Amino acid sequence: MVDPISFGIIGGDKRQVFLANSLLSDGVPVLACGFERLKGAAFFSGVEQRPLAETAERAGVLLLPLPATRDGKTLNAPFAQAPIRLDEAFAKALLGHRVLAGKAAALKDACPALRELPIADYGARESFARQNAAITAEGALFYALRAMDKSLCGSRCLVAGFGRVGQAVAVRLYHLFARVTVAARREASRAAAAALGCRTVSTADLYRGGAYDLVINTVPALLFPRAVLEKFPKTCIFLDLSSAPGGIDLAAAESLHLHAEQAFSLPGKTAPRAAAESIKQSVYSILKGCEES
């Protein structure tokens, strides 16, 4: 594994809590900050909760969340007592330390004082992204099963986008016996979807709607504005997995009495332990100096 160092977990959601416990179980000391409002005894007893400055100073490697920031101003730390501003003080605490973060580029945009600090992005590794897509797809199944009053078996499902998450979702729906159509812009994506048993449609033809029971969007572009939503049945369920601001006009969906919901940051909500294990593997690979070939 890694050298006997210590980790400082700064901010994040339940994934980072599982991450802290998992690192500790590997025999590495772990400090944490930004989890003051976490209820109950979620951290294993050996995890030391300390203020930012102390955490940064004592820990060998600092782990920021994925994404490190959602609003471009504060650290992504939903369990923190008070918002952790990405200001000079924050930068000063980190400078000189080894730092890993998810979506590091946005963090540096938000905090120019960090620009010179090399920050490895554990969310950018291809192997992490593959695992994350699988976990996200399972989360999408959970949302779909919760929202639908029909069965997936025999239902007509539309998956918009055929990137990693779209693929993982479409494959699962197919093998759960749904009739799956994939909407993709690229001819090659449609060919790949057809080779996995899916019908296909060009994204440009989405405006025609269709007799679907379930629509899952994975594309971060407004593919489902009001004019498109109007072409779908009233009983169709819409799930948006794309990152904010998302690809489905939720306000329009509501006014059309369609069931539409965002399922942002899925792995953190539905399978935090699995997501934490993926993060840990990515962190270890970076620390071992593995180049992704």
Smallest separation, CB 273 to its own copies (Å): 4
- CB-CB contact of 121 with 104 (8 Å): yes
Footprint of its own copies on residues 138-177 (CB under 8 A)? 138-139, 141-142, 145-146, 148-154, 168, 171-172, 174-177
Amino acid at 79: F
Residue in the block written with tokens 């690979």: 285
Longest pairwise C-alpha distance within the chain: 59
Smallest separation, CB 164 to its own copies (Å): 9
State the Cα–Cα distance between residues 86 and 113, nearest whole angstrom.
9
Among 72, 112, 197, 245, binds its own copies (CB under 8 A): 197
**b/e 265-288 (16+ beta carbons within 10 angstroms → b):** bbbbbbbbebbbbbbbebbebbbe
Q: Does 255 bind its own copies (CB under 8 A)?
A: no
Q: Does 16 bind its own copies (CB under 8 A)?
A: no
Smallest separation, CB 192 to its own copies (Å): 4
Smallest separation, CB 11 to its own copies (Å): 20
Q: Per the structure block, which two tokens stand in for 108?
A: 């540096």
Question: Given phi > 0 = left and psi -120 to 50 = alpha, else beta, which region is 264?
Answer: beta
From 42-50, 63-71, 189-197, 218-226, span contacting its own copies (CB under 8 A): 189-197
Q: Does 201 bind its own copies (CB under 8 A)?
A: no
| 3-state class percentages of the chain: helix first, strand second, coil last, to nearest 5 | 40, 15, 45
State the Cα–Cα distance between residues 199 and 207, nearest whole angstrom.
17
Judged by beta carbon, residue 54 or residue 264, the one nearer its own copies is 264
Q: Does 123 bind its own copies (CB under 8 A)?
A: no
Q: Does 259 bind its own copies (CB under 8 A)?
A: no
63 contact partners, CB below 8 Å, separation of at least 6 = 7, 8, 9, 10, 12, 16, 19, 100, 101, 122, 283
Smallest separation, CB 30 to its own copies (Å): 19
Per-position x/- string for 31-70, each x denoting binding to its own copies as judged by CB under 8 A, each - no binding: ----------------------------------------
Q: Does 270 bind its own copies (CB under 8 A)?
A: yes
Q: Does 228 bind its own copies (CB under 8 A)?
A: no
State the Cα–Cα distance between residues 124 and 160, nearest whole angstrom.
23
Judged by beta carbon, residue 110 or residue 286, the one nearer its own copies is 286
- CB-CB contact of 17 with 43 (8 Å): yes
Backbone φ and ψ for 256, nearest 5 degrees, come out as -90, 5
Among 89, 105, 194, 227, binds its own copies (CB under 8 A): 194
Among 58, 73, 85, 186, binds its own copies (CB under 8 A): 186
- CB-CB contact of 125 with 164 (8 Å): no
Judged by beta carbon, residue 18 or residue 238, the one nearer its own copies is 18
- CB-CB contact of 229 with 210 (8 Å): no
The contact set with its own copies (CB under 8 A) reads 18, 125-131, 133-135, 138-139, 141-142, 145-146, 148-154, 168, 171-172, 174-178, 185-188, 190-192, 194-197, 270-274, 285, 290, 292-293
